[in-house]
Amino acid sequence: MSCPRVEVDLAKIRRNTQTLVSRLGPRGISVTGVTKAVCGHPTIARAMLEGGAVGLADARITNVQRLRAAGLTDPITLIRTPMLSQADHIVQSCETSYNTEMLVITALAATAIRKGAVHGIVLMVEMGDQRDGILPENLADIAQQVMQMSGVALKGISANFACLNGLAPTALQMDAFCDLANEIEGVCGPFLKIVSGGNSANLPWALGEHATGRVNDLRLGEAILLGVEPVSGDRIDGMYTDAFTLVAEVIETGSKPAPSAIALVNPTLARRRIAQASGVSKRFIVAMGHQDTDILGLSMPVGSTLIGATSDHLVIGMPGTPPPLGSEVRFHLNYNALMHAMAAPDIEVTLLGNQSMRPSRHTQGEVGHLALV
C-alpha cells in the first residue's frame, strides 16, 4: 500500500454517530454530520448518514459538490457564510445555507428565483464566540427582511461556540439563544424548523441534567470522527477515538550527534526543535512533514520522541532500536492534523470496513502493519 496514507475505519464512524444519535434523540436533538474535516469524502459522509445523522453540513462548496458528484441526495447545508461569487453554486448544490449578510441573502434569493427554486436560510447569531454571527439585537430586523423576500425561506437560527475563543457555551448563553428563537417566531410568525445550538463543544451541555429548550439540532464533526469533546480534548464515554490512523514509511534510521550551537547559522533554528538532543541520539525519519499534516497534532509511537520536522521529513528519536527501513509507523491524529492530512494531495485514503464499495483512487481493504502506537 502507498504511504503516507490515512486509514479510515468506517464501522467506528458509524458507531460513533449511532452513539450520539441515541443519546441526543431523547432530548429532542438531531445530529447533522459535518464533513469539512474530511473534505467532503462521500463514503465517510455515508457512514455518518448510516449512523443516523439527519443530514450533512460543510463549510466549502467544493466539498458539497464532491458529495453531490458521488450521488448523495441527502440534505446538505453550507455552514460558512456564502461567498457572493458562489451564489449560483450554493443554490444549485445546497438546500440551505447559514448566513449573516443581507447582501449575500439577496444574491441567493435572486439566483434561486432565476433557477425556479427556493433556498433555505438559517441566520447565524453571535452568542459569544466572536467569529461569525448577527448581533442578537439586529436579528429580528434581518429575519423580517428575509421573510419578505422571494426565492428564499427562513428556516431557522443557529449559534456557534468554541471555534475562535475556545470557550464552551454556558447554560446562560444557551437559554438566551433559545429565547431568541421564541422572539423571532413572535415577530415573524412561522415556526422555526431549525434551532441549531452549536457543534461538538455543545455536547457536555446537551447531555447534561438541565433542559435543552428550543435547540433541536447540533452540527457534529469532531465528536463523530475522533470521539472527543473539542474544548477539553477528553474522550466521550463509549466513543471510538481511533477511527483515523495516519501511516508513514521509514526512509532513514541511525544515530546522529547533537548539533553544535556555533554550527547553526540561523539561531532561530534552535527554537524550531521539538526535543533538544544531547550527545548521540538514535532516530529514524519518516517520509512525511509539515506539508502533509499538523505535526504537533500527532501522537508519537510509544517510547519515542518528536525531534523535529521539515516540509517533508519527520524526525523521531527513541531509546531502543529504531524500526527497520521501509517499515510503516502509525500515528493517531487530533482534529487539526486530520484536516490537514485529508486535504494533502500526496496522502491517500484507505477505507476499512466498507467492502461493498468499489475502489476509486482511494484504496480499500484491511492489511497488517507494524504498529508502534
How many CB atoms sit inside 10 A of residue 27's CB? 13
Least confident piece of the model among 195-204, 308-317, 348-357? 348-357
Sign of CA pseudo-dihedral 127, 29, 60, 96:
negative
CB 91 within 8 A of CB 108: yes
Domain with CATH 3.20.20.10 in the chain: 10-226
pLDDT confidence band for 353 (50 / 70 / 90): confident
Q: How many residues does the chain have?
A: 373
Contact 111, 87 (CB under 8 A): yes
The amino acid present at 179, given as its one-letter code, is: D
pLDDT digits (tens, 9 = 90+) for 243-283: 999 999 999 998 877 665 544 455 555 444 555 545 447 89
Amino acid at 298: L
Three-class secondary structure of residue 331 per DSSP: strand
Q: Which grid coordinates belong to 84?
A: 457572493
Angle between helices 10-24 and 42-50 (to 10 degrees): 40
pLDDT in tens, 94-116: 999 999 999 999 999 999 999 99
Q: Which three cell numbers stand for residue 47?
A: 457512514
pTM, whole model, 2 decimals? 0.88
Closest residue by Cα to residue 185 from 199, 195, 176, 196: 195
Q: What is the dihedral of CA 217, 219, 225, 231, to 10 degrees?
A: -110
Domain 10-226 CATH assignment equals 3.30.70.3270: no
Whole-Å CA distances, 222 to 52, 184, 212, 342: 16, 30, 21, 14
Q: How far is CA 118 from the centre of its chain?
A: 28
For residue 99, the surrounding DSSP H or E stretch is strand 96-99
